[in-house]
Amino acid sequence: MTGVYVGMPAFPTAARAATRNAQLRANLTRATHTIRDRRARAVAELEDWEGLRQAGKAIKDETLAHLDDYLLQLEAKVTEAGGTVHWARDADEANRIVTELIRATGGSDDQPHEVVKVKSMATQEIGLNEHLAAEGISAYETDLAELIVQLGDDLPSHILVPAIHKNRTEIRDIFRERMGEWGRPAPEGLTDTPADLAEAARLHLREKFLRAKVAVSGANFMVAETGTLVVLESEGNGRMCLTLPETLISVVGIEKIVPTWRDLEVFLQLLPRSSTAERMNPYTTMWTGTHEGDGPKQFHLVLLDNGRTQTLADEVGRQALRCIRCSACLNVCPVYERAGGHAYGSAYPGPIGAILTPQLRGTASELDASLPYASSLCGACFEACPVAIDIPEVLLHLRERVGREAKEHGGHRLERAAMKAATYAMTHPAVYRAAENAAVRARKLIPKKVPFGAGKAWTETRDLPELPEQTFRQWWKETHR
């Protein structure tokens, strides 16, 4: 996993900067609480939610247990249906493949290469936009929030609502100042009402959709049995990208497979309700290879590893690959709510980011080593997860790993970064209260196995009714100087 977020400070530093930003915190608090409440209502409508959740978990575990079989099945079906399948070991390889495919579609000095893009976590993870820009190819993000982020030279802060950290006035200013540089300028006298801002985005992007020759997407699901790809969205920008251009290139992580067509019945119920708290999202597109007379004439599927197979090799950590990117865990996380998405330093913020990023990238950097500590272990993420990823279990597992590796390689540098993150999570009263109130305090996970000083101290403080901040710091000084 390579760097969109190069040079990001380790979690605690970034988190402290973010918590000082009152605007950001207000936006985040309102947003996460709103989605959280809506989601609870949407989930409560289904009396069989727990059954769906367990089936979702079981289907993903089956997928991971026989991933080679399913990938080969998928490859055969996509190819049979007129698509072309490519395999990418890492970000560089995926970026290179996509660049070559775009170049192969023609283009000239008069008509430079450009592509329209549907919001995709995988392409953020590999830094595709930055790579394409360096190659002289303009990539236009078409999801409204991604557009806001792109026009504002910003980074996404939430999986589902990437511009959650911007309010309407900030968005209006970005549109007024920047739209003209990218294409059709914002309308005169643009106000900051959401309807006006959405209309400005519609006008700005429509000319790009109508002339686009190439689109780049991700996918929410790939069905091995049929070779079908599935994209869920709300705005219709996805449909535009998946339908109008002549060439479609989809970059998808190898874990996004479900074995059978029938399996979609589970995930099409779990994902919208967990993600946007809707019974069904406004638009879902499904395609299988190419379709005569309908949609792109060329379809390329780039299957991305980029750390997924090394994650798969970890018996405890591999459950992170069940993730369907709904973002429910972000919205219930007291640490995310205070720190914001940017502090996690990757495309994947929040609790899932804290276990996925260090596994995809490894824990050699201070940032990645600190991520498993960016949690109060309150367990709300596990409760909210529609595929039952035991995030606290994986966090503890990774802390153990960071501790071991710190001893072997990184020494005190990594250990310090990790401890600062833990201190951050433990010393913010709201965060800690959430941890205290959590039902999972008595979990089997309370570690016997966190071996090094910092982790051990952490577990020792778990049983105290309140966390004495000063004492902890004093302890830290005494034992580490």
> Nearest distance from residue 340's CB to another protein, in Å?
16
10 Å Cβ neighbour count for 377?
A: 29
Contact flag: residue 409 with another protein (CB under 8 A): no
> Nearest distance from residue 163's CB to another protein, in Å?
6
Nearer to another protein, 52 or 326 (CB): 52
Q: Which residues make Cβ contacts (< 8 Å) with residue 57, sequence separation at least 6?
A: 322, 387, 388
Handedness of CA 327, 331, 334, 336 (dihedral sign): positive
d(CA 215, CA 207): 14
Contact flag: residue 37 with another protein (CB under 8 A): no
Considering only 1, 4, 14, 55, the residue that binds another protein (CB under 8 A) is 55
87: helix, strand or coil: strand
350 and 334 in contact (C-beta within 8 Å)?
Answer: no
254 and 233 in contact (C-beta within 8 Å)?
Answer: no
What part of residues 85-124 is at the interface with another protein (CB under 8 A)?
A: 86-89, 93
Contact flag: residue 313 with another protein (CB under 8 A): yes
Listed residue (387, 400, 391) closest to 352, CA to CA: 391
> Nearest distance from residue 268's CB to another protein, in Å?
5
Nearer to another protein, 80 or 436 (CB): 80
143: helix, strand or coil: coil
Nearer to another protein, 52 or 252 (CB): 52
Contact flag: residue 337 with another protein (CB under 8 A): no
Nearer to another protein, 226 or 357 (CB): 226
Q: At 413, phi and psi to the nearest 5?
A: -60, -50
Listed residue (437, 325, 436, 329) closest to 384, CA to CA: 329
Contact flag: residue 236 with another protein (CB under 8 A): yes
Contact flag: residue 240 with another protein (CB under 8 A): yes
Contact flag: residue 67 with another protein (CB under 8 A): yes
Contact flag: residue 201 with another protein (CB under 8 A): yes
Handedness of CA 400, 412, 373, 128 (dihedral sign): negative
What part of residues 167-196 is at the interface with another protein (CB under 8 A)?
A: 167-168, 171, 194-195
Considering only 7, 110, 189, 293, the residue that binds another protein (CB under 8 A) is 293
Nearer to another protein, 268 or 457 (CB): 268
Contact flag: residue 30 with another protein (CB under 8 A): yes
* Radius of gyration of the chain, Cα coordinates, nearest whole angstrom: 22
> Nearest distance from residue 12's CB to another protein, in Å?
28
Size of the site for another protein (CB under 8 A): 98
89 and 305 in contact (C-beta within 8 Å)?
Answer: yes
Q: Which residues make Cβ contacts (< 8 Å) with residue 80, sequence separation at least 6?
A: 227, 289
Considering only 126, 197, 388, 425, the residue that binds another protein (CB under 8 A) is 197
Residue 44 structure tokens: 């409560």
Contact flag: residue 209 with another protein (CB under 8 A): yes
Considering only 263, 337, 366, 400, the residue that binds another protein (CB under 8 A) is 263
Considering only 254, 271, 301, 396, the residue that binds another protein (CB under 8 A) is 254
Considering only 71, 323, 354, 367, the residue that binds another protein (CB under 8 A) is 71
> Nearest distance from residue 262's CB to another protein, in Å?
6
Contact flag: residue 224 with another protein (CB under 8 A): no
Nearer to another protein, 114 or 235 (CB): 235
10 Å Cβ neighbour count for 65?
A: 11
> Nearest distance from residue 374's CB to another protein, in Å?
24
Considering only 1, 28, 161, 381, the residue that binds another protein (CB under 8 A) is 161
> Nearest distance from residue 215's CB to another protein, in Å?
13
285 and 228 in contact (C-beta within 8 Å)?
Answer: no
What part of residues 346-405 is at the interface with another protein (CB under 8 A)?
A: none
Listed residue (231, 234, 253) closest to 146, CA to CA: 234
Give whole-number Cα distances, 222 to 7, 63, 177, 418, in Å: 34, 11, 39, 36
* 379: Cα separation from own chain's centroid: 19
Nearer to another protein, 40 or 198 (CB): 198
Listed residue (414, 422, 431) closest to 460, CA to CA: 422
10 Å Cβ neighbour count for 203?
A: 14
